[in-house]
Structure 1
């Protein structure tokens, strides 16, 4: 996929993986619209790389449509990257009773429904673009799952279920959109240095940092961004989920 002069939407771009991805795409010549509910983070990102900030909720049709319209105003929309997500913890039955049903629903809404919302609306716009690539490619959609989709830990039922849903929609979406030259690929990150991790207690952070086999460290957001770039430039990557995890398999 040609990057220079084309537009991209990156969700969850106010921090972490999304911010690193937006910066890498902007550096590669893409015209980036960065979407997040974190307006302060978006402003800082815009100052660093010139991305166009759009505050919004990925699970809102109107908000995503507005962000895509902004991206299309900058150039042909060839790329959408779904990085928005939340990771609350809760046991099926904890000391206070059964898992909060509203929290489970919210997790699915942001992580799964939000991902699909961006995917469907971005694909609709991409289908109307002219073909420019030799293989007839019109665009690429990159989703973010998690290794928890396969290795979900105790307390991760909501999060793991939402990310397993993202993995599950990848192949059927890619198969359907193949006829119009749109690729769909999902990345399943392991443990990364993100604000989500920084919010955990120190003891929990120390235990997490000791888990990856090799490299024996947490991933860096720029390494996630590099995989997004590789997906964009390699047309054979389609309909699959790529683990980015230092050979880590989460313990129970």
Structure 2
């Protein structure tokens, strides 16, 4: 699928994997809407790649609709990347056996709301806009890539909410792809492993921590970089025969319990 002259939306696009995807989509000729809550970084990136920044909280349907409408004004919306998400770590049961020490239920709801429901909200609205596009030779009107995590399969101790949210993204990949086939929209999911993003911080201690994490990767024994994920995003969008797949990009790692 050719995205030259089309528009694209990348949620969580101001940094990390999202920013790398936005740059690579722009390099393919797409005008990218960088949808994020980090205004300073998002505006700088949008200026760099000739795109547009919009403040988007993926739990706010009206903000998502505004981003989709803005994208369609820039060109036919043919590519969407759902990279927005948060993490949370807490054991299901506390050490003292008290109800109040059990996993924070509001935190669980928040992770699901952002990572899973937010992703689906973007999918349903963006795909609706894509359904209005003129089809290409294959009948294709657009492509969507969701970002899950290897935690969907190898969730660690304390990752109940995060793994549940990412497992939900994996679980909806096939049924949603089947739904969207009727309007010529493809949907795939990437499950990243340990990726070197700003979440790990900066400095000597951070580098040592990342190096230690990298020892758990099968090969190569390092953290992945955002561009390695972004290249898979671009492949899933532009390769018209990729549909309904969940692809791990993880160096072969299988996460231990902790």
Cα deviation 1:27-60 (Å, max 9, x = unaligned)? 1110110000111110221232122000110121
Taking the TM superposition and a 5 Å limit, the aligned residue runs for 1:1-252 are 1-95=1-95, 97-131=101-135, 133-198=136-201, 202=206, 204-252=209-257
Please state whether the residue corresponding to 1:137 is helix, strand or coil: coil
How far did 1:91 drift? 0.7
TM-score by length of 1: 0.96
Aligned residues: 251
Deviation at 1:198?
2.6
RMSD: 1.6
Deviation for aligned residue 1:61: 0.7
Contact 2:213–2:222 (8 Å) recurs in 1: no
**d(CA) in 1 for partners of 2:191, 2:109:** 21
Moved over 3 A (4+): 201-207
By how many angstroms is 1:209 displaced?
A: 2.3
Contact 1:61 1:117 in 2 (8 A): yes
Matches of 2:90 and 2:209 in 1, distance apart?
15
Distance 1:7 1:186 in 2: 20
Instruction: Compute the displacement of 1:204 (Å).
Output: 5.0
The whole-number CA distance in structure 1 between the counterparts of 2:43 and 2:95 is 41
Task: Report the CA distance shift for 1:99/1:204 in structure 2 as closer, same or farther (over 3 A).
Answer: farther
Secondary structure, aligned partner of 2:8: strand
2 CA distance for matches of 1:151 and 1:198? 24
Partner Cα distance (1:209, 1:95) in 2: 30
| Unaligned residue ranges in structure 2 (runs of 5+) | none
Distance 2:125 2:142 in 1: 13
Q: Give the TM-score of the pair, scaled to structure 2.
A: 0.93
